[in-house]
């Protein structure tokens, strides 16, 4: 499992199939261990004496001075703790210094994370990863694998810097003691999942100074806007099961005064690591935000640890939902929900993680009798005259089956009830599964707000049902395909997806189906990470009927559902125009006028053996090759000429697309030595290009884009524009976050 952005090779990262990526430095021998989790192999170091043993990567990796880098590994040893470091080297491969992480607090035979970040010195040219453990005797072993070196790995959209988010991988400067506490870095042996690349070895540690409440806060205060909804979350490690631990999202005005906060209390089932959420809308006057956390009624010496701290603009629980997260996810209480009628009681589920469709908590509804109760929400703004969907996830956890209906009440701009749309009830079985329930209703012409009313009827006394993931959003097609003739692409939108399922997406043309390319590669049994997915298909043919089929599979490979849309067409007004596309980097696509289409040839390797005394030779042939030919293209302006160069610069496989009906099929080609000829001397901008073409297979890989790289990520990562200039060779590299190495 290759770690995204890793400078290290797969062999060095995974220690599979051998240890060739590693070299011992002192007091140890190396060998290939087994039982790794990023592949079976792992690096086993065995001490030769009672002293520190060290190993390093066999290769060096290019770095840029004054740039922050991050390294981590998973380690295991029952006898000694470990640490990891970055060795900085100058251009003559002489060591400048080593940035070491903290040594883990204890030894642990379970795989646990060690890590550190550091800024490359001013004269650094290369770096290596260093691994270290201090043995108490000869013959002691430590195991390492899943090793990363590269840029800091951040949560996309996080307003905090990497150092604040990561729990102090560089230092603890992102945090300050606020009340009755001290704040330091710590390195507990935490068994994070193998692919939790945002979680490292260092964490922030708050120690209670004296009996009483204690707190700390981030010193990092990113900008925030009034009226916008924000989400904060982090991992908390409480000192005891009974400790009253909390986190809160805070807002500040332009002069730094705190003007609001939204607190969320952890209801922990133990003393592990628990992800806790808080959310809210920034009040009027907000200029910045931060996060605080602490223990109420703490005891001197108690410790609260934090890791993975994120504050971001609220991502939609459902695309376009008008409900605040506090009312939809129940991560900080029951929100605005009330029991309008009936005997039911409502509360946040307990403890942490006991019941949740998403996040860590749900709304627990308990009925003492087999009767009906109605839950009502706050009022939310809606657009009149359009379809709206109210949706929720429910699970019965005690008693017997429930019946449920999701209704909508509509109000005008004065808050007067217009009408209530009642929907048929459905049965929710007591089977331990989450079920989705919804209603699709068109808002009245004078509706301004809507209220969700959930009618729940218990069929047995002392019954309990969990409610979670509530949304109110405009009801749009579950699968929508829109042709975009300007960019010669199909824009596909899949909605209401289940993130536990896997997607295979087909393009169907004239009865032939082809898997569609997405941002991560071909969408073939691809794990879903969001309830909505947008795919831009630049390889759909021009002027032909195109249909699409989405197949959704369960984790066991069973086909769960199928969606289809089409046929649709991409049209071309002028048949002399040809699209020259880079399937992997569509930013390079260009439409130009053909001067002369290629006359295709199909070369073949043959040996002709003339037999003495025979008229006809014996001919031995290989298979006939693909198409070759020359395409002549006009560029009529300087902008078109520059676009043609841009498309050819990478030397990557290109896709030629011609208008339908001219006997020129879409073809993937490699372009040989391109010739750019002037039409006349002087200021004439026209050029006639000759492109030697060889037909090749379609390239692998996903379509590059900017979905996970925002302006906020840029601002949080780099202090100045000069840092950005020194990091990216071109504006395209900046757009795609492809850093110089």
Residue bearing the bigger pLDDT, 738 or 117 = 117
Tell me, what's the pLDDT at 718? 65
pLDDT of residue 717: 66
Domain count, the chain: 6
Q: What count of other Cβ atoms lies within 10 Å of the Cβ of residue 426?
A: 13
CA dist., res. 551 & res. 559, Å (int):
7
The candidate with the shortest Cα–Cα distance to 537, out of 574, 577, 558, 565, is: 565
pLDDT at 368: 96
Q: Does the pLDDT at position 740 exceed 60? A: no
- pLDDT tier at 476 (50, 70, 90 boundaries)? confident
Same domain, yes or no, for 544 and 455? no
Contact 264, 296 (CB under 8 A): no
338 and 439 belong to one structural domain: yes
Q: pLDDT at residue 661 above 50? A: yes
Cβ 445 vs Cβ 413: under 8 Å: no
Q: What is the pLDDT of residue 252?
A: 97
pLDDT of residue 741: 47
> Per-residue pLDDT tens for 663-713?
888 999 999 999 988 887 777 888 999 999 999 999 988 887 543 456 666
Q: Model confidence over 270-302: pLDDT tens digits?
A: 999 999 999 999 999 999 999 999 999 999 999
The C-alpha atoms of residue 531 and residue 294 are separated, in whole angstroms, by: 34
How does DSSP assign 56-105, residue by residue? EESS-EE--TT-EEEEEEEEEESS--EEEEEEEE-TT--EEEEEEPPPPS
Mean pLDDT score, 70-81: 96
Residue 47 has pLDDT above 70, yes or no: yes
pLDDT of residue 306: 97
- Number of neighbouring beta carbons within 10 Å of residue 117: 24
Say yes or no: 451 and 339 in one domain.
yes
Region 102-129 average pLDDT: 97
Q: What single-letter DSSP state applies at residue 587?
A: G
Q: Is the pLDDT of residue 726 over 70?
A: no
pLDDT of res. 587: 85
Domain shared by 136 and 178, yes or no: no
Let me know whether 413 and 431 are in one domain.
Answer: yes
Within a domain: 545: yes
Indicate the burial class of 378 (C-beta count within 10 angstroms; 0-12, 13-18, 19 or more): middle
Tell me: do 563 and 586 sit in the same domain.
no
Q: Of 264, 293, 313, which marks where a domain is finished?
A: 313
Confidence of residue 377 (pLDDT cuts 50, 70, 90): very high
**Strand residues in 268-383 grouped as ranges (E):** 274-281, 288-298, 303-313, 338-341, 345-348, 363-367, 372-381
Instruction: Please say if the pLDDT value at position 731 is more than 90.
Output: no
Residue 651: CB atoms within 10 A of its CB come to 8
User: What letter does residue 734 receive in the DSSP assignment?
Assistant: H
The reply to whether 330 and 406 lie within a common domain is: yes
Q: Are residues 146 and 85 in the same domain?
A: yes
Q: What is the mean pLDDT of residues 344-362?
A: 96
Backbone angles phi, psi at 583, to 5 degrees: -60, -25
Q: What pLDDT, in 10s, does the model give residues 499-523?
A: 889 999 999 999 999 999 998 889 9
pLDDT in tens, 597-637: 888 999 999 899 999 999 999 999 989 888 999 999 999 99
Q: What is the pLDDT of residues 529-588, one digit of tens each?
A: 888 899 999 999 999 999 999 999 998 889 988 999 989 999 888 888 999 999 988 888
443, 470, 497 — which closes off a domain?
470
Predicted pLDDT at 259: 97
Least confident stretch, 73-87, 461-475, 657-671: 657-671
Domain ranges, residue 285: 162-313
Backbone dihedral region of 531: left (phi > 0), alpha (psi from -120 to 50 degrees) or beta? alpha
Q: Does residue 155 fall inside a structural domain?
A: no
pLDDT digit string, tens, across residues 305-346: 999 999 999 988 888 899 999 999 999 999 999 999 999 999
* Contacts with 386 (C-beta within 8 Å, 6 or more apart), sequence order: 442, 443, 474
User: 232 with 308, same domain?
Assistant: yes
Give me Rg for the CA atoms of the chain: 31
Q: Is there a domain that residue 365 lies in?
A: yes
* pLDDT score at 1: 65
Whether the per-residue pLDDT at 733 is higher than 70: the answer is: no
Q: Is residue 300 part of a domain?
A: yes
Instruction: Identify whether residues 249 and 379 lie together within a single domain.
Output: no
Judging by DSSP bridges, how do beta strands 526-527 and 502-509 pair with one another?
antiparallel
Instruction: Give the per-residue pLDDT at 701.
Output: 84
Tokens of 40: 């079976």
| Residue 441: C-alpha distances to residues 451, 472, 494, 514, 691 (Å) | 12, 11, 21, 37, 56
- Considering the chain, what is the average pLDDT of its residues? 92
Count the residues in the chain: 741
656, burial (CB in 10 Å: exposed 0-12, middle 13-18, buried 19+): buried
Residue 5 belongs to some domain of the structure: no
Note the pLDDT of residue 710. Answer: 60
The reply to whether 487 and 465 lie within a common domain is no
The proportion of the chain whose per-residue pLDDT surpasses 70, expressed as a percent, equals 95
Q: Considering the domain boundaries, does residue 701 fall inside one? A: no
What is the model's pLDDT at position 34? 94
Give pLDDT, residue 730: 67
4 within some domain? no
**What is the average per-residue pLDDT within 360-368?**
97
CATH number assigned to the domain comprising residue 123? 2.60.120.260
Residue 156 lies in a domain: no
Q: How far apart are CA 142 and CA 148, in angstroms?
A: 18
The predicted pLDDT at position 729 comes to 67
State the CATH number of the domain containing residue 166.
2.60.120.200
For residue 131, the surrounding DSSP H or E stretch is strand 126-134
The number of angstroms, rounded, from the C-alpha of 193 to the middle of its chain's C-alpha atoms is: 16
Q: Which of 326, 348, 221 has the alpha carbon at shortest distance from 278?
A: 326
Q: How far, in Å, are 259, 312, 451, 478 from residue 279 at the CA level? A: 15, 10, 21, 28
| CATH number of the domain that residue 491 is part of | 2.60.40
Contact status, residue 153 vs residue 70, Cβ threshold 8 Å: yes
What is residue 706's predicted lDDT score, i.e. its pLDDT? 40
pLDDT value, residue 707: 36
Residue that is last in its domain, among 150, 177, 204: 150
Give the per-residue pLDDT at 732.
62
27 and 68 both lie in a single domain: yes
The pLDDT of residue 708:
41
Give residue-wise pLDDT tens across range 211-227. 999 999 999 999 999 99
């Amino acid at each position: 499992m290759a770690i995204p952005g890793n400078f290290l090779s797969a062999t060095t990262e995974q220690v599979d199939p051998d240890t060739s990526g590693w070299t011992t430095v002192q007091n140890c021998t190396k060998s290939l261990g087994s039982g790794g989790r990023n592949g079976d192999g792992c690096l086993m170091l065995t001490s030769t004496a009672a002293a520190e043993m060290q190993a390093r990567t066999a290769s060096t990796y290019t770095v840029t001075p004054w740039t922050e880098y991050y390294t981590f590994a998973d380690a295991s040893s029952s006898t000694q703790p470990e640490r990891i470091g970055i060795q900085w080297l100058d251009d003559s491969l002489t060591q400048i210094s080593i940035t070491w992480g903290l040594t883990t607090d204890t030894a642990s035979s379970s795989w646990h994370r060690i890590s550190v970040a550091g800024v490359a010195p001013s004269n650094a040219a290369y770096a290596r990863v260093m691994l270290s453990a201090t043995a108490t005797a000869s013959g002691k072993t430590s195991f390492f694998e899943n090793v990363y070196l590269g840029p800091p790995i951040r949560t996309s959209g996080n307003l905090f810097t990497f150092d604040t988010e990561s729990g102090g991988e560089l230092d603890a400067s992102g945090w300050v003691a606020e009340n009755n506490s001290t704040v330091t870095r710590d390195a507990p042996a935490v068994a994070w999942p193998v692919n939790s690349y945002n979680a490292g070895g260092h964490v922030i540690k708050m120690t209670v100074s004296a009996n009483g409440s204690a707190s700390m806060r981030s010193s990092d205060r990113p900008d925030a806007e009034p009226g916008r909804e924000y989400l904060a979350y982090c991992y908390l490690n409480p000192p005891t099961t009974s400790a009253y631990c909390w986190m809160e999202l805070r807002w500040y005005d332009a002069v730094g005064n705190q003007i609001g906060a939204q607190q969320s209390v952890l209801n922990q089932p133990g003393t592990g690591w628990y992800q806790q959420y808080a959310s809210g809308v920034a009040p009027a006057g907000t200029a910045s935000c931060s996060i605080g956390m602490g223990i109420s009624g703490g005891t001197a010496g108690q410790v609260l640890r934090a890791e993975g701290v994120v504050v971001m603009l609220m991502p939609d629980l459902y695309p376009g939902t008008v409900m605040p997260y506090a009312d939809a996810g129940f991560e900080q209480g029951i929100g605005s929900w009330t029991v309008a009628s009936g005997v039911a009681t409502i509360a946040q589920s307990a403890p942490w993680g006991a019941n949740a469709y998403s996040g860590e908590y749900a709304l627990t509804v308990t009925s003492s009798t087999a009767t009906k109760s109605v839950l009502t929400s706050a009022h939310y703004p809606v657009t009149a005259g359009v379809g709206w969907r109210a949706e929720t996830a429910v699970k019965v956890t005690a008693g017997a089956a429930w019946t449920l209906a999701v209704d909508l009440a509509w109000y005008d701009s004065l808050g007067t009830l217009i009408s209530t749309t009642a929907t048929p009830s459905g049965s929710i079985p007591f089977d331990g599964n989450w079920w989705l329930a919804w209603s699709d209703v068109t808002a009245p012409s004078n509706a301004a707000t809507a209220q969700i009313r959930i009618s729940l009827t218990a069929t047995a006394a002392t019954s309990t049902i969990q409610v979670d993931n509530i949304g109110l959003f405009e009801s749009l097609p579950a699968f929508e395909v829109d042709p975009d003739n300007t960019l010669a692409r199909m824009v596909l939108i899949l909605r209401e997806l289940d993130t536990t399922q896997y997607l295979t997406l087909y393009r169907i043309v004239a009865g032939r189906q082809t898997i569609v390319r997405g941002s991560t590669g071909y969408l073939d049994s691809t794990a879903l990470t969001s309830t909505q997915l947008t795919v831009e298909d630049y390889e759909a043919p021009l002027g032909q009927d195109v249909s699409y089929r989405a197949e959704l599979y369960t984790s066991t490979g069973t086909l769960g559902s199928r969606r289809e849309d089409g046929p649709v067409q991409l049209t071309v007004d002028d048949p002399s125009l040809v699209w020259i596309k880079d399937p992997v980097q569509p930013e390079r696509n260009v439409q130009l006028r053909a001067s002369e289409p290629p006359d295709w040839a199909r070369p073949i390797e043959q040996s002709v053996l003339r037999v003495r005394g025979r008229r006809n030779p014996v001919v031995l042939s290989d298979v006939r090759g693909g198409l070759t030919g020359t395409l002549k293209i006009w560029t009529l302006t300087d902008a078109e000429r520059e676009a043609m160069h841009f498309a050819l610069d990478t030397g990557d496989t290109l896709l030629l697309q011609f208008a339908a009906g001219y006997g020129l099929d879409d073809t993937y080609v490699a372009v040989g030595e391109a010739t750019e000829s002037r039409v006349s001397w002087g200021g004439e901008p026209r050029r006639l290009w000759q492109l030697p073409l060889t037909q090749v297979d379609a390239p692998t890989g996903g379509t590059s884009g900017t979905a996970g790289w925002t302006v906020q990520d840029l601002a949080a990562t780099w202090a100045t524009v000069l840092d950005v200039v020194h990091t990216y060779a071109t504006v395209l590299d900046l757009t795609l976050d492809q850093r110089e190495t």
